[in-house]
Amino acid sequence: MRPAPDLLARRLLFFTGKGGVGKSTVTAATALLAAEQGQRVLVVEADDKGAIPGNFEQPSVGFEPREVYPGVCAMAMRTEDSLKEYLKLNLRVPVLGRLGPLARVLDFVATAAPGVKEILTVGKVCWEVRESIEGRADWDLVVVDAAATGHIIGQLDAPRAIQELVSVGMVREQTDWMVELLSDPSVTSLNVVATPEEMPVNETIELVQRARVELTVPLGAVLVNRVLPELFTHTDEATFEALRADDASAVLTSRVGSGATAVLDAARLAVSLRRTRAVHLAELRQAVELPTLYLPYLFVRDQGLRVTKMVADALAQELGL
């Protein structure tokens, strides 16, 4: 399917993906690109691993959003802080001080009651979006480095799960507007980052199928990261194969030295890797029926802001910006 030129024309973008595919980098790059398009962006790090600020070469952030790049603020989700903020906003509680170690209570309730941790994460995100829509907060766009593919359904489905379990009370009332916001295709989209490898592709296909059935959150795009370049056309490849034959490689060795073998082997490796991955890409394209964006494999030595910018540039190109 065509790319999704309107990827950034939402208020809330969730990014998921299998571990190791570069989900945080793609999330950071999306935020950076949106900021360069003039948006004020909040990036939320759902798992508090510190990867997002790292992508901007900034020290780790806390629950309070802090600017990590012009136009981009980042925050780390801490469910305990989220609960505190929630209680402060919703209850006039002198009681709070007498609650004892809130962390332990929360830890307990979160383990005991399914979805509590998730709702505190998604709830805070939704709240920031709603505040922005209603003009009380500044964000044009909230981008979430969300749970990995295995846990994203549980995370995004938390408000509905709570609705099913909790029939009355304050929480019940508040999940209603959250579900509405999360289900609105003009506001929210769930995007999946994958690499063209077997497991990431399988998990993406399974997730997309499940999400269509189990979630009301609209699916956005699949972003395929680390796509290797195609080295040769068909006829060029025949030429390459001929270079690997004894006679030709003898010529090469005499001209450029014994390192010629390494160069030929490296090209062979590049071709095979690309080919193996092409099979997975084709499978992905065929199975998901979603707009697909391709981000190149980056042959760079360093990590950090420069890489984030490179990914953002590639993304801009894919989006036709």
Partner 1 sequence: MTRAEPRATSIESLLATKEIVIFCGSGGVGKTSVAAAAGVAAATRLGGKVLVLTIDPARRLANALGLEDFGNVEKPVPVEAFKAAGLEPRGQLHAAMLDTKRSWDELVLRHAPDEETAYRILENRLYTNITGRFVQSHDYIAMERLFDVHAAGRYDLIIIDTPPTRNAIDFLEAPKRMADFFGGRLLRWLTMPYRMGGRRGARVLNVASRPFYQLADRILGSQFLQDIAEFFLSFQSMYDGFAQRAEAVERLLHDRRTTFAVVTTLEGAPLREAQFFCEQLTKRDFHLGALVLNKTLPEYLLSADGARAADALAAEAGPIAEELAGTGVAELADAPRTARVLRTIGESFKNFAVVATREAELKTELGRVPDVVANVPNFEIDIYDVTGLARIGDALFGG
165 binds partner 1 (CB under 8 A): yes
98 binds partner 1 (CB under 8 A): yes
Closest approach of partner 1 to the CB of residue 296, in Å:
11
Torsion sign (Cα): 88, 90, 93, 96: negative
Query: Which residues in 173-303 belong to E strands, given as ranges?
Result: 188-194, 219-227, 292-296
Q: How far is it, in rounded angstroms, from Cα 236 to Cα 67? A: 49
167 vs 286, beta carbon nearer partner 1: 167
Torsion angle defined by CA atoms of residues 167, 169, 173 and 175, in that order, rounded to the nearest 10 degrees: -70
- Pairing outcome for strands 72-76 and 66-69: antiparallel
Choose one: 65-73, 125-133, 237-245, 309-317; the region binding partner 1 (CB under 8 A).
Answer: 237-245
Please name the residue that has the structure tokens 């408000």: 159
User: DSSP code of 11?
Assistant: S
Q: Is 192 helix (H, G, I), strand (E, B) or coil?
A: strand
Choose one: 34-42, 178-186, 239-247, 313-321; the region binding partner 1 (CB under 8 A).
Answer: 239-247
95 vs 213, beta carbon nearer partner 1: 95
Please name the residue that has the structure tokens 């390494």: 262
108 vs 177, beta carbon nearer partner 1: 108
Choose one: 4-12, 35-43, 120-128, 198-206; the region binding partner 1 (CB under 8 A).
Answer: 198-206
159 binds partner 1 (CB under 8 A): no
Closest approach of partner 1 to the CB of residue 15, in Å:
15
Choose one: 29-37, 66-74, 166-174, 310-318; the region binding partner 1 (CB under 8 A).
Answer: 166-174
234 binds partner 1 (CB under 8 A): no
Q: Is 14 helix (H, G, I), strand (E, B) or coil?
A: strand
Please name the residue that has the structure tokens 């994203």: 152
123 binds partner 1 (CB under 8 A): no
214 binds partner 1 (CB under 8 A): no
